[in-house]
Amino acid sequence: MDRTDTALLGVAGVVAALVLAMTFAAGILFGPGVSVLRPIRLLAVEPFAWVVVAALVVAVVGHAYIDD
């Protein structure tokens, strides 16, 4: 696996973890009858959440390109 594959796999992992966390949050915080889009709308209006997601993506890509 080369660096590009590692970076893509890491970014996909961050996105998958974000989707799972939002699905969990929608079920626990808002009840099972609420749309999963509600946490996505909350994420869209919260700038600090985007900073955290961007930091995770930068960390994953940076880790993939660090020379041993």
Instruction: For the chain, report the end-to-end CA distance as a whole number of angstroms.
Output: 15
| 56 has pLDDT over 80 | yes
What mean pLDDT comes out for the span 8-34?
80
What mean pLDDT comes out for the span 24-37?
73
Domain parsing of the chain, residue ranges: 3-65
**pLDDT value for 36:** 67
Is the Cα torsion angle 10, 12, 13, 15 positive or negative in sign? Answer: positive
**pLDDT value for 67:** 59
Q: Hunting for tokens 């880790």 — which residue is that?
A: 63
Residue 39, exposed/middle/buried by CB under 10 A (0-12, 13-18, 19+)? buried
Confidence of residue 26 (pLDDT cuts 50, 70, 90): confident
